[in-house]
Structure 1
Amino acid sequence: MGKPPSQFLEIPDKNAVYGWRGLIIPVLAVLVIVCFLLDIAFGSVSIPLKEVARIVAGQGSENVAWLYIVQKIRLPKAITAVIVGCGLSVSGLQMQALFRNPLAGPSELGITAGAGLGVAVVMLGGGGSASLYAIRQLGIADSWLLVFMASLGSALVLLLVLSIGGRLRDNIVLLIVGVMIGTITLAIVSIWQYFSQPEELQEYLMWTFGSLGGVVQTHLYVLAIVVALGLIVAFSSSKALNVLLLGENYARSMGLNVARSRLLILISTSLLTGSITAFCGPIGFVGIAVPHLTRSLLDTSDHRLLIPATCLVGAILLLVCDGIAQLPGTQAVLPISVVTSLLGAPVVIWIIVRRNNLRTAF
């Protein structure tokens, strides 16, 4: 028999999309715009917000240097931050609903590692290296190939976790299995790296740190299209995610095609995680932290509201992290995954302490 809904994943309120919760979406949208402009304004060279707004609006600027910095460097990076924040956050939200596990996420279940294996097949298999420089040199055709292989790697790992999860009743054990699958995947990539040249090892290490600045304008279109497709599939699965909170047996009794719903979630998560990891490297803790922050903010488990809110909160978080990573006033730039880990890890600790015993949370 399926398990009843828990305190963490309560039965969705059919009226959750109305009332005061609906007002939060416009507020979050305004915060995204504010953080977007601030992220562009601050860095090694500070640019007045008024000038940033003019340049973003297409009105240009008399300062040629500011115009170049915004249009060629900071604007693509800020757009990438929004895309990455939306994609990874929704991926984590779907995984937590599908597995009914508060600690499920793309990184924790090995999905990100599977995407990394797909990237290694393309970059290392061709005699190159999976570095940010190498990714920048890819043509459009190679970009689509990179996204396809990364998404395929994500899908294969997720399929494996789902197949094993069907035989397990313990969410904690399933999480451990996901971590082990990710470890095996990383070990395969490490063996590949062992036989690579020292220069390739260094460049691959830089890729593993994660970066929002590695996506040039040409490839930003590819990333945006794939993530948009993944988000559309996720939005179309919102009602199915609500029903899955009750458990698969309950979902079947309510007429839900569980196999079809799981397939759609698999496709969405693979597209989102695979494409983002391919161009930006592995970025951890976003997928696990943002859904919890959004649930705490809205006090609901209705995915009709959670999915758009999670997108906006994820975009805000990545823009803030990117602003911190730029270390305004200095020439140094921190890897984005380092900043997301520093902000996301305390959220995970908070989840564990708050639940006290994760076994009793479901």
Structure 2
Amino acid sequence: MNNNRWLLLPLLLILLFGLNLSLGSVHIPFKEIVTILTGGESSEPIWRDIVWNFRMTKALTCILAGGALALSGLQMQTLFRNALAGPDVLGLSSGASLAVSLIFMSQAAGISFLRTPNPWTVAIAATLGCTGVFLIMLALSKKLLDNVSLLIVGLMIGAGTSSIVSVLQYISRAEEMQTYLIWTFGSLGGLNWTELLVLASVLLLGGSIALGLVKSLNAWMLGDNYAASIGINMKRARFWIILSASILTGGVTAFCGPIAFVGLAVPHLVKFLVKTTNHKILIPTVMIGGSVLMLFCDILSQLPGSTQVLPINAITALIGAPVVIWVIVRHSKMRV
């Protein structure tokens, strides 16, 4: 492995972070942004509020969400030994989407007391949806001994929840359906500092669990027999891997909506860059890579030179889809 290659990621992270802060519907000179960040007084008082309460929170959300989804994707790909596994492979995002659809399309679901849901209501609903699916998968993991069966069950749960959401959309009113659809596009700019702190705390918990699983993840890459021979408790390791991925995916989905392709694409891009399968190296580099990709997607979504903002999921799909095609071509003989 080229030991200097990973340095590209932190450099890109710093560059894109600064660029992300400098872009927006209101033009603020970069010199003024530096002055504001260093505690100085800006030429326009409103610029300070824009930088600290809008652009900074959005940029930090990009870093947290991108890193969490990428780490979750890495764990899922390692657990299932499947290059096309992603954070939503267990149906967690689908569970969150179902719960949120019940909130937004409340009239269709017969829940008339939630006509004006606030962001915290949506976040709690998404969390409960993820938790419900996680508990189902946890119970099934004790019955299913092989990961392939668990993967298939997760995909089927996702398909089942999606069908229920489709029924709700069909019988709901247009304005309710539109609100839900906007949520499914994903959003990185809607968090305040309190929500950002809660998100950071949740992701810190999930990331800490993942860091403690380095030995198990490395052993998992070499097969069940090898992992068992070096003292890895397979059932316990699988539980903690699923728990960590669920916390990371659920936290991001609760506050940012379902964001696709980042967790699927980033691990492959990082492995192509650093050329290693050691999770002691992969975990931090994948997290930085996820943050870099999310910042880059957010910059593209802002349509530099325009006041319009594209849905973040549209941009991540444009970038992630070619990576998935590349993975399929590269692993044409991969077992599914």
Structure 1 length-normalised TM? 0.83
Contact 1:118 1:153 (8 Å CA) reproduced: no
2:314 aligned with 1:338? yes
Decide which of 108, 114, 122 is 1:128's aligned counterpart: 114
Question: What is the aligned partner in structure 1 of residue 50 from structure 2?
Answer: 69
Contact 1:135 1:279 (8 Å CA) reproduced: no
Amino acid of the residue matched to residue 216 of structure 1?
N
Distance, in Å, in 1 between the alignment partners of 2:153 and 2:321 is 20
Decide which of 248, 253, 270 is 1:277's aligned counterpart: 253
Distance, in Å, in 2 between the alignment partners of 1:54 and 1:240 is 46
Distance, in Å, in 2 between the alignment partners of 1:204 and 1:143 is 10
Distance, in Å, in 2 between the alignment partners of 1:157 and 1:347 is 31
2:63 aligned with 1:82? yes
Change in 2 beyond 3 A, CA 1:24/1:52:
farther
Amino acid of the residue matched to residue 128 of structure 1?
L
Contact 2:96 2:127 (8 Å CA) reproduced: no
Distance, in Å, in 1 between the alignment partners of 2:21 and 2:304 is 11
Aligned residue for 2:335, secondary structure, equals: helix
Amino acid of the residue matched to residue 297 of structure 2?
C
2:145 aligned with 1:166? yes
Deviations 1:129-185, CA, capped at 9 Å, x for gaps:
7xxx9443x3xxx587446414403514643774686357xx5x8766543321111
Aligned residue for 1:334, secondary structure, equals: coil
Contact 1:161 1:178 (8 Å CA) reproduced: no
Amino acid of the residue matched to residue 202 of structure 1?
Q
Unaligned runs of 5+ in 2: none
Decide which of 229, 238, 263 is 1:287's aligned counterpart: 263
Decide which of 272, 277, 283 is 1:301's aligned counterpart: 277
Question: What is the aligned partner in structure 1 of residue 22 from structure 2?
Answer: 41
Amino acid of the residue matched to residue 195 of structure 2?
H
Distance, in Å, in 2 between the alignment partners of 1:46 and 1:191 is 44
Deviation at 1:234, TM superposition (A): 0.8
2:201 aligned with 1:225? yes
Aligned residue for 2:245, secondary structure, equals: helix
Change in 2 beyond 3 A, CA 1:81/1:49:
same
Question: What is the aligned partner in structure 2 of residue 183 from structure 1?
Answer: 159
Question: What is the aligned partner in structure 2 of residue 265 from structure 1?
Answer: 241
Amino acid of the residue matched to residue 255 of structure 1?
G
Contact 2:100 2:180 (8 Å CA) reproduced: no
Aligned identity (percent) is 45
Contact 1:85 1:315 (8 Å CA) reproduced: yes
Deviation at 1:228, TM superposition (A): 1.0
Deviation at 1:63, TM superposition (A): 1.8
Amino acid of the residue matched to residue 202 of structure 2?
V
Question: What is the aligned partner in structure 2 of residue 328 from structure 1?
Answer: 304
Question: What is the aligned partner in structure 2 of residue 93 from structure 1?
Answer: 74
Say how many residue pairs are matched. 331
After the TM superposition, list the runs of 4 or more consecutive aligned residues in structure 1 that deviate by more than 6 angstroms.
none
Contact 1:240 1:256 (8 Å CA) reproduced: yes
Distance, in Å, in 2 between the alignment partners of 1:354 and 1:202 is 39
Deviations 1:265-318, CA, capped at 9 Å, x for gaps:
111111111111111111100111000001111111000000000010100000
Q: Give the superposed CA RMSD.
A: 2.6
2:213 aligned with 1:254? no
Aligned residue for 2:86, secondary structure, equals: coil
Aligned residue for 1:211, secondary structure, equals: coil
Deviation at 1:217, TM superposition (A): 2.2
Unaligned runs of 5+ in 1: 1-15
Distance, in Å, in 2 between the alignment partners of 1:98 and 1:197 is 41
